[in-house]
Amino acid sequence: MSKTAKSLSALGLSAALGTGAVAGETEERVLQMIASGEAYSADTLMPLFKQLEPVSLEFMLGTWRGGKFDGGAEPDPLNWYGKRFTSVNDVEPVLYPSPDGTLQNYDKLGRAQIREMVFDGTVSAALIYDQQPIIDYFRKVNDDVVIGLGDIKGRPLEFFFHLTRDH
């Protein structure tokens, strides 16, 4: 088994190869990038993001484990876990594990909602923070993995992250 296949298997992503909305090279490349844990620039990620299929609001419901494409370069004082989409009107956008292990929302960033929005000509689910000038646009890698693009008002479009569905 190759190093990439082992990494994908360890992340629970190996079954995702060859299935889901994006067949072939784009899906495999994105999953390999996630499994590698290496840093990837917005210039590398944006063309891939634009090739991915949109997701519906219902698709995003549930709890998702998150990761960044920064190669571990950015310290994470919260130990970010992911996001929880309880309903289209109730999203916990920044989950972290509390000392007792339960997942908590980072209240300083508030809550959020999801709506269908257009990004680069494609309508897809987007998370809109209630109290922050932030929108996260989502695209589907497969049935269990999405890529998010964080649009923070006044900053360049360069913050990409990935979410893997909790089962």
- The string of pLDDT tens digits covering residues 76-89 is 788 999 999 999 99
Interacting residues of 58 by C-beta distance below 8 A, sequence separation 6+? none
Q: Are the beta carbons of 149 and 157 closer than 8 angstroms?
A: yes
Residue 130: partners with Cβ closer than 8 Å, 6 or more residues away: 110, 111, 112, 113
**Any idea what the CATH number is for the domain that residue 57 is in?**
2.40.128.580
Structural domain containing residue 159: 3-165
Confidence band, pLDDT 50/70/90 cuts, at residue 3: very low
Q: Summarize pLDDT for 7-17 with one digit per residue, the tens.
A: 444 444 433 44
Give me the numbers of helices (H) and strands (E) for the chain, helices first please. 4, 9
The pTM for the full model equals 0.84
Q: Are the C-beta atoms of residues 135 and 148 closer than 8 Å to each other? A: no
- Give the tens place of pLDDT for each residue, 40-59: 999 999 999 999 999 999 99
CA distance 152 to 164: 22
E strand segments, 88-156 = 90-97, 103-105, 112-119, 122-129, 134-142, 145-152
Q: How many domains does the chain have?
A: 1
What are the structure tokens assigned to 117, written together?
Answer: 């929005």
The CA distances from residue 24 to 8, 114, 139, in Å, are 16, 29, 16
Bridge partners of 139? 147
